[in-house]
Amino acid sequence: MWRPDWGTAYVMVLPFTLLLLGLVVYPIFWNVAISFENKGSFSLAHYRYIFSDPTFGKVAYNTTIWTLGSIIPQLIIGLGVAMLLNQKVRARPLFRAIILVLPWATPHIVGALAWRWMYNDLYGVFNDMLLRMGLQPVPWLGQPDWARFSVIVANNWKGFSLSAMFYLAGLQTIPDDILEAARVDGAGRWASFWHITLPHLRPTITLTVLLTIIFTINYFPLIFIMTGGGPAQATDTFVTWAYLVGFTHLKFDRSAAISTVNFVIILIASCFYVYFLTKSKES
């Protein structure tokens, strides 16, 4: 049944809805449309081209390594940091602000430039430390395997704080009475974590992992500034490849096809998340 106050609610929501349609929905549909267009007609030529391109295999491999190398450390480090910051110690708000807010609030460009300078072959702090220890310097961003490892480390520094914020919020929803009762019953720290903390954090972990996957697959500034996708396309992901194809080679239709493939991958990951979340609620 229609209620009189619904009209006011719809009017207030309308500007945001129009903004969302104009800035998000329309560009997505336009991007998909031009990816299927070739010389004014419907065609799969762009998709056949990118799937047959040898670069596609490299980019798919790099994106997989880049995503897994970011998800797992951010899960472990973020959860560990959150549990440490959940302890009742002095100056806890200060520690939380420094450890959680500083990496997350640092602008992407500033963080990427700082890491690139630290990885510099001649003047970087990491090679300086290696030389002081009597070790050989490492071409951090000049050799494919090292470059792939270096950008993943930088991304984990940038992203672990957001994961830790989510885990810390989830930890604070666990009643102290349950943990205290477990201690009284003789449960140790590991048993309390495994049987009480972890089950309570399962929804938070599931959501955080999904968001980490989406953010990581779509993350562009750090890789582009640090390596530009190189060396030898060792750090090229779908987003950097789409950018280079579109804005360097001016093949916007092929770039749209690459970004559509990237969108489908994220959509599949989101569907898996909804499926597992629904199953966990039912169980």
Q: pLDDT tens for residues 228-276?
A: 998 989 999 999 999 999 998 889 999 999 999 999 988 888 887 777 7
Query: Is 11 a domain residue?
Result: no
**How far from 102 is each of 98, 99, 113, CA to CA, in Å?**
5, 6, 16
Query: Is 13 a domain residue?
Result: no
Q: Structure pTM? A: 0.86
Number of domains in the chain: 1
Query: Is 134 a domain residue?
Result: yes
Between CA 230 and CA 34 the distance in angstroms is 28
> Measuring CA to CA, which residue among 222, 98, 89, 115 is closest to residue 164?
98
Between CA 16 and CA 19 the distance in angstroms is 5
CATH at 164: 1.10.3720.10
Query: Is 185 a domain residue?
Result: yes
The number of CA neighbours under 13 Å toward the Cβ of 6 is: 4
Between CA 257 and CA 47 the distance in angstroms is 6
Contact indicator for 58, 236 with CB cutoff of 8 Å: yes
Query: Is 1 a domain residue?
Result: no
Average per-residue pLDDT for the chain: 87
Query: Is 27 a domain residue?
Result: no
Residue type, 226: M
pLDDT at 100 (0 to 100): 81
Query: Is 31 a domain residue?
Result: no
Domain of 99, in residue numbers: 53-282
The overall longest dimension of the chain from CA atoms, in Å, is 78
Residue type, 238: F
Residue 143, SS3? coil
**Whether pLDDT at 226 is above 90:** yes
pLDDT at 283 (0 to 100): 57
Query: Is 112 a domain residue?
Result: yes
